[in-house]
């Protein structure tokens, strides 16, 4: 697998289900703010709704830091609507659910499992310029943690704003950072 850090988003146009309506989402819609592309294998499954609900429970914290969430699966926007219409957990999701039935986004991000027509659990943090800054990919059976994702977005934002400082393990906003220098070599 090739490294995606520093790679810019491709131009794309997909259909999404969001707040009871269908809408088109493009690269231009993503630019200008932080974004998280949150891939999951499929609608009407088991781990997926727990993850989407966890992100929804933390959505206001993402919004406070200027970050939009884009959940993505290989399902169509029509299937996303049907899932929201029939499942209380999905009904009130506050963020767009992108349909990627042609696998355009899943291929770009390297998470498409072609033989299954599904995406791995991939999480990609994109800066306001559309550049990938953080990503992780899980097997289909391993769920993710939205609080840790939020922390990673906050760390990426801090590093972008304070280029001379870096965030150590488990760093959270307000905690000490490090300024790389010769003085720190061998001291940590």
- Residues forming the active site: 48
Cα 75 from Cα 42, distance rounded (Å): 7
Dig out the tokens for 172 from the structure: 């959270």
- What DSSP letter does each residue of 85-102 carry, written as one string? HH-HHHHT--S-EEE-TT
Dig out the tokens for 64 from the structure: 């406070």
Inter-residue contact 35 to 70 (CB < 8 Å): yes
Cα 90 from Cα 141, distance rounded (Å): 19
Dig out the tokens for 177 from the structure: 């950072």
Inter-residue contact 43 to 75 (CB < 8 Å): yes
CA angle 10, 76, 64 (to 5 degrees): 60
């Amino acid at each position: 697998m090739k490294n995606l850090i520093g790679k810019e988003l491709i131009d794309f146009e997909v259909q999404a289900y969001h707040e009871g309506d269908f809408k088109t989402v493009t690269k231009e819609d993503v630019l200008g703010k932080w974004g998280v592309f949150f891939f999951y294998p499929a609608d009407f499954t088991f781990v997926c709704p727990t993850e989407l609900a966890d992100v929804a429970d933390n959505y206001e914290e993402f919004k406070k830091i200027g970050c939009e969430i884009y959940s993505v699966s290989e399902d169509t926007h029509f299937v996303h609507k049907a899932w929201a219409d029939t499942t209380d957990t999905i009904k009130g999701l506050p963020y767009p659910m992108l349909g990627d039935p042609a696998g355009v986004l899943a291929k770009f991000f390297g998470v498409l499992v072609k033989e299954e027509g599904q995406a791995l659990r991939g999480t990609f943090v994109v800066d306001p310029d559309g550049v990938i800054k953080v990503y992780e990919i899980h097997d289909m059976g391993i769920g993710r943690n939205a609080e840790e994702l939020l922390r990673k977005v906050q760390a990426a934002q801090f590093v972008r704003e304070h280029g001379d400082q870096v965030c150590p393990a488990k760093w959270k906003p307000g905690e000490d950072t490090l300024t790389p220098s010769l003085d720190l070599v061998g001291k940590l």
